[in-house]
Amino acid sequence: MSAVDPDVQPDRLASRFPTAYTILFLLVVLAAALTWIIPAGRFDRAESAAVGREVAVAGTYRTVEPNPQGIVDILMAPVAGFYDPESYAANAVDIALFVILLGGFLGVVNATGAIDTGIRRAMARLRGREIWMIPILMSLFALGGTTYGMAEETLAFYGLLVPVMIAAGYDAVTGAAIILLGAGIGTLGSTINPFATVIASNAAGVPFTDGLALRLVLLLGGLAICIAYVMRYAARVRRDPALSRVADLAAEHRAAFAGRAAPGEGATLTGSQSLVLGVFALTFAALIWGVSSQGWWMAQMSALFLGAAIVAGVAGRLGEKRLTGAFIDGARDLLGVALVIGLARGIVVVMEQGLIADTILNAAAGAVSGLSDLAFINLLYWIQVGMSLFVPSSSGLAVLSMPILAPLSDFAGVDRSLAVTAFQSANGLVNLINPTFAVVIGGLAIARVPYERWLGFVWPLLLILTLFIMAALSAATFL
């Protein structure tokens, strides 16, 4: 079945496929069930100056008293996923609050009519050349992914790009793909990303510059594959909208993202709308500057969108009542996204509290020991694929797995930097679809693309990328 063939019958599939909330809750239940089956175990932890946090110590695995997760733990998992005082790094309250305030900002901007009018003017000027937005934007997102691990920050861009793609004659899947695949392939082919390459290399005991050439090959080759895939899909959807993965949702998407007016020459921006668009552009410029050079994270980004919403409302002359009403309405629209993020993190909470993550890691270490270099690197890649489903955080998985798995590469005759590359490429690939990764579930929810439609769109690309990655890793063992 082609990635864009219409024989999926999306209307029938949508009626039978569960919502993202149900899928994630069932995964929480599954993770809890595993805690009754998989023996509990722990590695000792030691503070690592190179990594800046505690890492697992190889050879220290031991079984411990089990802590199987029951009904109460299952119900508590989404709550702990938002905010667990004992493990703040694993909570999602900061991301959820960011999404809600982002929704308020978008609600205020949309209430001024500036976005709808601006999109119609832009589409009129780009008529016939819209397709070139795809490679340009995907390359920019990939640059963010490969340099500083752009991930949660991308949630702010769905409300901007999805309506642009819809107005250009494409669909919401195209807009989501530009962001999710663009930043995702950058993370997959990380070069200097501190949250993947640098932490993993430090944990493995090698300079992060080792293996840079192979990672550049993965970055540039993977980006070319993704751009070609998205452009092909977008071109087919524009020729025949029935081929869209979300064809049955087209009217809903147009109403939600692009307003009622079609793109046309007659769109005229008022002075106040021009000011609002200026505030809109400056807000995203400030976001990129703050994240890339000032160390901003969710708290600072949330404050940015709160302040920008006030400024945009004043510039758009909404008045106090319309401004606050638009902000509340916009925040309400993304409340479901915030709930999804907490559910996704709840899966990780159950795994941690059930004490089975280290047991899985120990079993993985035993599976790869004693293999040839070619078999070792490919099996290591698939082990990291499996572990990424349960530990979507690149830094978290690096700290957990690299101190254990990287030393095993010495016995297989594989350079440790290649083990790092296998880790980051596996983690990056899985996080293009990972239901436990808030960026995937949250981004698709903002774009109003059902999760099963995204899977239907992206699975052939995942197969292509998997073959490309495995070929690159295998070739590297001979160099």
pLDDT in tens, 387-403: 888 777 777 778 777 87
Report CA-CA distances (Å) from 76 to 82, 126, 157, 342, 353.
Answer: 10, 50, 31, 11, 11
HSE at residue 474, side-chain half, CA atoms within 13 A, is 10
- What is the per-residue pLDDT across 251-305, written as a single tens digit (0 to 9) for each? 888 888 755 334 444 457 788 888 988 898 898 788 778 876 787 777 888 899 8
Rounded to whole angstroms, the Cα distance separating 236 from 120 reads 22
**143's tokens:** 């640059």
What's the helix, strand, coil split of the chain in %, to 5? Answer: 75, 5, 25
Please, which residues bridge with residue 42 across strands? 62
In three-state secondary structure terms, 49 is: coil
Give the angle 136-455-224 at the CA atoms, nearest 5°. Answer: 30
DSSP character at residue 369? T
- What is the per-residue pLDDT across 114-154, written as a single tens digit (0 to 9) for each? 876 776 676 667 677 778 889 988 998 898 888 767 777 78
What is the pLDDT, as a whole number, of residue 32? Answer: 93
CA quadruple 105, 106, 109, 111: dihedral, nearest 10: -110
**Residue 58 pLDDT exceeds 80:** no
The residue with greater pLDDT, 341 or 40, is 40
Angular region, 64: left φ>0, alpha ψ -120 to 50, beta rest: beta
DSSP character at residue 245? T
Choose the most confident range, by mean pLDDT, from 2-11, 61-70, 358-367. Answer: 61-70
**Residue 227 pLDDT exceeds 70:** yes
Rounded to whole angstroms, the Cα distance separating 336 from 231 reads 30
Rounded to whole angstroms, the Cα distance separating 125 from 201 reads 47
Rounded to whole angstroms, the Cα distance separating 199 from 402 reads 9
Rounded to whole angstroms, the Cα distance separating 378 from 376 reads 6
For the chain, the average pLDDT equals: 82
The residue with greater pLDDT, 27 or 195, is 27
How many Cβ atoms from other residues are within 10 Å of residue 336's Cβ?
17
What is the pLDDT, as a whole number, of residue 15? Answer: 44
Strands 62-63 and 45-48: unpaired
Strands 41-42 and 62-63: antiparallel
